[in-house]
């Protein structure tokens, strides 16, 4: 055996007070790895548990699972941006990676829009109430990891809110509260309160951890020359537009396709006033507001 490797192995195990001979013997007995062990295909392919016998429910479940996996890939990249001080080329490359994941999410949304029978969907979805994609925690984490909390505050309160708003007061004014809260009475839907009970603490911790380290903050901390780098600006704008206009519109068009039947809009499983809530032109969610012109912000979500 190559003595360099033998020595490195010895050093590695000695450093943790382990006998390298025992580990080498273990290697002798251990089974070689297979694709199915490594990718965990048996586990993965057993994670689909439909609640009805409608075959298209499988499309619905699996596409949501694919989306969640891509959200995880995005979060993995955003975490690396938060933890490192990348030079501009590396920073751009990371933004391009998250952009590409969201490009996939956007272009593949037709699997949802055109890939399920409308009648089947409208029957199996009754068994899903009050669950909703609204309760996707990773989607919210992608937002927290992408921008400052002020940019996620409901448009109606954003201009008056403290730019450094955080924690509980920020939480109650996040744009998505509008999907589950009666602002006059303060009463929350079950969909929202169950979501908060499960994740609120985690969200506050997560958003605090990304304060000053989210993608937008990291960009703002770059030297002026880098902030003006054309490729980086292009990548940042591409990501912002893909998440907050293209994906949102693909999602909105899907909801219209399945829930607007003969001009009548059906109530969604999460119970929001979705026709207004979901359109980007009302919410004007923008991760990187300084990278857009006044006109682009005014017309956000209208040209698609």
CB neighbours of residue 268 within 10 Å: 23
Part of the chain binding ligand HEM (CB under 6 A), chosen from 16-24, 89-97, 158-166, 252-260: 252-260
Q: Find the binding residues for ligand HEM in span 271-300 (CB under 6 A).
A: 271-272, 274, 278
Q: Residue 121 CB, nearest distance to ligand HEM (Å)?
A: 6
# binding residues, ligand HEM (CB under 6 A):
24
- Per CB under 6 A, the segment of 6-14, 40-48, 198-206, 248-256 that binds ligand HEM is 248-256
Q: Give 31: exposed, middle or buried? Use CB within 10 Å, 0-12, 13-18, 19+.
A: exposed
Q: Nearest residue to ligand HEM, using CB? A: 270
What part of residues 257-276 is at the interface with ligand HEM (CB under 6 A)? 258-259, 268-272, 274
- 251: contact with ligand HEM by CB under 6 A: yes
Residue 214, C-beta contacts closer than 8 angstroms, at least 6 positions apart: 78, 82, 144, 145, 146, 147, 148
Count of other CB atoms within 10 angstroms of residue 63: 16
Q: Does 96 contact ligand HEM by CB under 6 A?
A: no
* Residues 128 to 187 in contact with ligand HEM, rule: CB under 6 A: 132-134, 136, 139, 176, 179
How far apart CA 15 and CA 9 sit, in angstroms, is 10
Helical segments of the chain, H only: 3-14, 20-29, 35-39, 41-44, 57-83, 88-107, 110-113, 118-124, 137-146, 155-158, 167-173, 190-209, 215-220, 224-227, 230-241, 248-259, 274-277, 280-283, 294-298
By C-beta, is 91 or 109 nearer to ligand HEM?
109
Give 179 or 249: the residue with its C-beta nearer to ligand HEM: 179
Residues binding ligand HEM (CB under 6 A): 63-64, 67, 112, 121, 132-134, 136, 139, 176, 179, 251, 254-255, 258-259, 268-272, 274, 278
């Amino acid at each position: 055996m190559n003595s360099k490797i033998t020595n490195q192995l010895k050093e590695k195990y000695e450093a943790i007070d382990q006998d390298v001979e025992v580990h080498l013997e273990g290697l002798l007995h251990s089974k070689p790895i297979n694709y199915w062990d490594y990718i965990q295909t048996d586990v993965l392919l057993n994670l689909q548990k439909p609640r009805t016998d409608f075959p298209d429910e499988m499309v619905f479940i699996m596409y949501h699972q694919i989306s969640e996996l891509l959200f995880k890939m995005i979060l993995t990249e955003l975490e690396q941006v938060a933890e490192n001080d990348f030079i501009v080329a590396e920073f751009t490359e990371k933004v391009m990676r998250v952009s590409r994941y969201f490009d996939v999410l956007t272009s593949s949304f037709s699997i949802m829009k055109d890939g399920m029978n409308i009648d089947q969907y409208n029957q199996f979805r009754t068994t899903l109430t009050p669950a909703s994609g609204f309760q996707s925690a990773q989607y919210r984490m992608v937002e927290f990891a992408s921008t400052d909390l002020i940019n996620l505050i409901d448009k109606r309160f954003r201009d008056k809110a403290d730019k450094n708003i955080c924690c509980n007061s920020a939480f109650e004014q996040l744009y998505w509260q509008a999907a589950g809260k009666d602002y006059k009475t303060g009463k929350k839907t079950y969909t929202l309160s169950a979501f908060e009970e499960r994740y609120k603490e985690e969200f506050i911790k997560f958003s605090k951890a990304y304060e000053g380290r989210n993608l937008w903050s990291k960009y703002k901390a770059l030297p002026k020359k880098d902030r003006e780098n054309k490729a980086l600006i292009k990548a940042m704008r591409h990501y912002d537009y893909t998440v907050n206009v293209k994906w949102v519109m693909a999602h909105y068009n899907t909801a219209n396709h399945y829930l607007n039947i003969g001009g009548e809009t059906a109530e969604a499983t999460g119970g929001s006033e979705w026709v207004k809530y979901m359109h980007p032109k009302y919410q004007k969610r923008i991760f990187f507001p300084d990278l857009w012109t006044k006109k682009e912000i005014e017309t956000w979500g209208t040209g698609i």
